[in-house]
Amino acid sequence: MTAAIKFATYDDLLALPENVVGEIIHGSLHTHPRPRPRHALAETVLGGALNLPFGQGRDRGPGGWWILVEPELHLGADVLVPDLAGWRRERLPRLPDAAWFELAPDWVCEILSPATARTDRALKLPCYATAGVAHCWLVDPDARTLEAYENQSGRWLLLGAWGGDDMARIAPFDAVELGLSALWAD
């Protein structure tokens, strides 16, 4: 006789301590501690650098996006929390009243850390592709790199990788040049 498999529930997420981030991926609960300062810096700087031109239409940017830090996504049975996510306002004219999003974002960004890199790459990226997320960036503050991917029929195509002090125009935000050096803690 085999034991029945218990799938994680939303109540399992709500029961986690405040210093733990939880996600449900393929029915399993995945947890990790809140990010290190190096990780938080990259997330904060990148979110701000994108929000001004794309979220608010400032600094010669086109606007037209919602850029959010750590939104909760309900994508089918999966509950995911990307470090950053963006929706084109033409697809999401208003933010939902709920504490989560059921509409997949157009772009996600995961800031890799030793505690999250495997889950981000091996588990979450396939979920994002299946849900129809069009673009994904992986930022590694330790390696000082940014990798950009585009969803091509449910598979991720590497658009390019940048690092160090590079200045880059990266889809879907290639209307504005980003300076990567501000993402890295020295």
Mean pLDDT of 63-79: 95
Pair 10, 109: CB distance under 8 Å = no
Q: Residue 139: which of 93, 73, 185, 92 has the closest Cα?
A: 185
- Which tokens sit at 117? 């890199």
* pLDDT, tens only, 140-172: 999 999 999 999 999 999 999 999 999 999 999
Query: Would the pLDDT of 69 be above 80?
Result: yes
* pLDDT, tens only, 23-54: 788 888 888 877 788 888 999 999 999 999 99
Q: What is the model's pTM?
A: 0.89
Q: Residue 25: which of 96, 110, 114 has the closest Cα?
A: 110
Pair 82, 108: CB distance under 8 Å = yes
Query: Would the pLDDT of 72 be above 80?
Result: yes
* Backbone phi, psi, residue 95, to 5°: -70, 145
